Amino acid sequence: MSGTLAATVERFLDYLKVERNYSPQTLIRYRHDLTRLVEYANARDIAEWSALRSDAVRSFIAGEHRAGIAPKTLQARLSACRSLFKFLLRSGELKHDPAAGVRAPKAPRKLPQVLDVDQMQKLVEIPTDGAAATRDRAILELLYSSGLRISELTGLKWRDLDLADASVRVTGKGRKTRVVPVGSKALDALRALRNLERVTSEDEPVFRGRNGAPIAAASVRARMQAWACAQGIERRVYPHLLRHSFASHLLESSGDLRAVQELLGHADIATTQIYTHLDFQHLARVYDAAHPRARRRAKAQ
């Protein structure tokens, strides 16, 4: 990127990093999306953001679509543009929103993947025969117990956990804080980890990587997939899969969509509603096969 447009983008990204505490992954995506917009504007001799009109933004999105960019990616790209324009409107550098009335192509709705209860139990119940395995068991248990995002998990410090109250305080998207319950199995795993590591300060990270620094998200993903293979789970396993499984299993058992929304930290309940579209009959069969009370009833019958 070069020129005035690019300088504004850099200032916007600094704002997102410092003021809004956006994750490094989100900042990378925003930079890529806005770089594409700057390149489009430069190719058409648009030197100031105030010269950008809605028809140009619409043409930009249409051109990306013709180039084969997926609708979901285009929606994210347009969202990044809208965020930049709102930033410029607030600062008075724009008088109108160039993205007003512009829409990205609709993406086909993709249902979240989940592990069933038996698969989930097999994944989390790994042997804790060493320091790394004890840490990994606590990671797996907490992800499934509380439905955390990977960024929320890697940022945890011991002061965020209240083991006596069985709760954890996390800071999610948009720096929004929420307190969610922690299940008994996760509590046991966390206590075992704390005892092993001999924690001396509540400001220490809960999950450490090399040199005592917070464990990296990439390390969590790699360890999780390695454990899935070791436990005989023949599919791709990743942190958000446990979040999906948490939400689906909880909604299946409770039917309380609002409660699941609060636990996940979704700003819009429409985001949570996707879990209601999962095959209920499949979930009912999982429940009947896995829940202890359901198994007892089946045996009695």
Please determine, for residue 163, whether its predicted confidence score (pLDDT) is greater than 80: yes
Which pLDDT belongs to residue 283?
A: 52
Q: Rounded to whole angstroms, how far apart are CA atoms 137 and 186?
A: 8
Which pLDDT belongs to residue 77?
A: 95
Fold of 3-90: DNA polymerase; domain 1 (1.10.150)
**Using 50, 70 and 90 to split pLDDT, how confident is the model at 295?**
low
| Mean pLDDT for the stretch of residues 66-73 | 92
Mean pLDDT of the chain: 89
Q: Which two tokens stand for residue 240?
A: 């958000």
| Mean pLDDT for the stretch of residues 29-39 | 96
Which pLDDT belongs to residue 2?
A: 41
What is the dotted CATH code of the domain comprising 117-292?
1.10.443.10
Continuous H helices in the chain: 3-18, 24-43, 54-66, 71-90, 117-124, 131-146, 150-154, 184-197, 217-230, 239-254, 257-264, 269-272, 280-290, 292-300
Which pLDDT belongs to residue 199?
A: 87
Residues 6+ apart with CB under 8 A from 195: none
Please determine, for residue 1, whether its predicted confidence score (pLDDT) is greater than 50: no
Residue boundaries of the structural domains of the chain:
3-90, 117-292
Catalytic residue IDs: 149, 173, 240, 243, 266, 275
**Using 50, 70 and 90 to split pLDDT, how confident is the model at 254?**
confident
Please determine, for residue 287, whether its predicted confidence score (pLDDT) is greater than 70: no
pLDDT tens string 142-159: 999 999 999 999 999 999
Please determine, for residue 85, whether its predicted confidence score (pLDDT) is greater than 70: yes
